Amino acid sequence: MSVLSANIPAIAGGRPMFEERVPIVSPEGLPGEEFLHDVRKILNSRQLTNATFVRRLEEAAEEYLGVAHCVAVSSCTAGLVLTLQALDLQGEVILPSFTFHASAHSLLWNGLKPVFADCDPETFCVDPRSIKLQLSARTAAILAVHLFGNPASIVEIQTIASDASIPLICDAAHAFGSDINCRRVGNFGVAEVFSFSPTKLLVAGEGGMIATRDADLARKLRIARNYGDSGNYDPESAGLNARMSEFHAALAIHGLNGLDARIDRRNHIRRQYEQRLGAIPGLSFQHIPPGNRSSCKDFAVLIDEAAFGKSRDWLCDALEKENIQVRRYFYPPVHRQKLYRDIWDKRPLPVTESISDSILNLPIYSTLADESVEKICDAILRCHEFARKKKLTRAQRA
């Protein structure tokens, strides 16, 4: 193959950069054969759910996060639903529209009205100034999201919440192992809720964890995850079965081993992407404020069509043809989805719209090799050069 044809993107007939498809995510921290030992232990104990492994995981999370109470649940969504229920809220909750829709679902399950705030153009997290604009006498709480593992501006948001005497809850689905000013996520707001589903940092198969410093809230949540039944067969609330099974807990306990090294590796990959892709016109990235650590659950680029030469959606197709799996997270934003379109108060969310229209997520996981990251960057570079040359010839013809 000539040098020239080697640089033709697959979308224009060139050979795909990868022979085998590179997935965008790959579950991490999974144990080997030693897991079977745990399975045997669980089977022998005859206690398959919410027993010693679950308690051990809760204790390990309490220690890792440095927070007094961790309550294991069957998912982050269930954890958010139960936390909001336990806080006994009525009215409106302010949250970002630039998030996964499950953040907003937890409000609907509690009869709460989602009020969408815009996000910050640098961090992609909910913008405290927009939260302030949306605040009213009906606001019952604020739900912040640590987007892609990048912590939200919690100090500012907590001040807004405290001044309004309303609780702050964090959807920390992406942020197990993230830090805010050297303090672990899990220690902020009245509660922070993590996800342990396969695409997240710590994997239980399915599962979640509520972290709180409030002993009374933790007690209520332990009852709520068990149908609201404290054991006297006379439920305190319409709870859920949101217990975690012993098998899931055992998996997550293994995942805690080497978690910090995996987060470091993800940050290394992020910097590698930023260095290579930062040299290509029209590409920019999420800003992680100094002093914070992102879990780098995801890595995203924003594509400025005019400078890059092609649209986000074209690059999305082009990379898929290179055998690189990419995703548009989060597109469309929650307020544009059919479930929320009519609930949305129609206050403009220009930053959310702009980011959602130009974002593309690239593969990131600790087992992704440096060479693969380089090749993904090479693919993006040849896509840009192809677009630039096309533009040039068009200009010359005119």
Ligand X SMILES: *Cc1c(COP(=O)(O)O)cnc(C)c1O
Binding-site ranges for ligand X (CB under 6 A): 75-77, 99-100, 102-103, 145, 171, 173-174, 195, 197, 208
Tokens of 273: 């992407």
CB of 244 to ligand X, least distance (A): 11
Nearest to 26, CA basis, from 278, 272, 286, 265: 265
The tokens 């040299």 sit on which residue? 279
Q: Which is nearer to ligand X, 171 or 179 (CB)?
A: 171
Query: What is the tally of helices (H) and strands (E) in the chain?
Result: 14, 12
Q: Which is nearer to ligand X, 197 or 272 (CB)?
A: 197
Q: Which is nearer to ligand X, 263 or 383 (CB)?
A: 263
Cα 60 from Cα 247, distance rounded (Å): 16
Cα 265 from Cα 285, distance rounded (Å): 18
Q: Which is nearer to ligand X, 25 or 102 (CB)?
A: 102
CB of 288 to ligand X, least distance (A): 17
CB of 81 to ligand X, least distance (A): 9
Cα 389 from Cα 398, distance rounded (Å): 14
Q: Which is nearer to ligand X, 17 or 193 (CB)?
A: 193
Q: How many CB atoms lie within 10 A of CB 363?
A: 22
Q: How many CB atoms lie within 10 A of CB 25?
A: 17
CB of 364 to ligand X, least distance (A): 14
CB of 313 to ligand X, least distance (A): 22
Residue 337 DSSP code: S
CB of 315 to ligand X, least distance (A): 23
Cα 318 from Cα 360, distance rounded (Å): 12
Q: Which is nearer to ligand X, 145 or 387 (CB)?
A: 145
Strands (E), the chain: 69-73, 92-96, 113-117, 139-145, 168-171, 179-180, 183-184, 191-195, 208-212, 283-285, 299-303, 359-362
CB of 290 to ligand X, least distance (A): 24
Q: How many CB atoms lie within 10 A of CB 172?
A: 33
Residues whose CB falls within 8 Å of the CB of residue 313, separated by 6 or more in sequence, listed in order: none
Q: Which is nearer to ligand X, 125 or 140 (CB)?
A: 125
Q: Which is nearer to ligand X, 77 or 178 (CB)?
A: 77
CB of 42 to ligand X, least distance (A): 22
Cα 394 from Cα 383, distance rounded (Å): 17
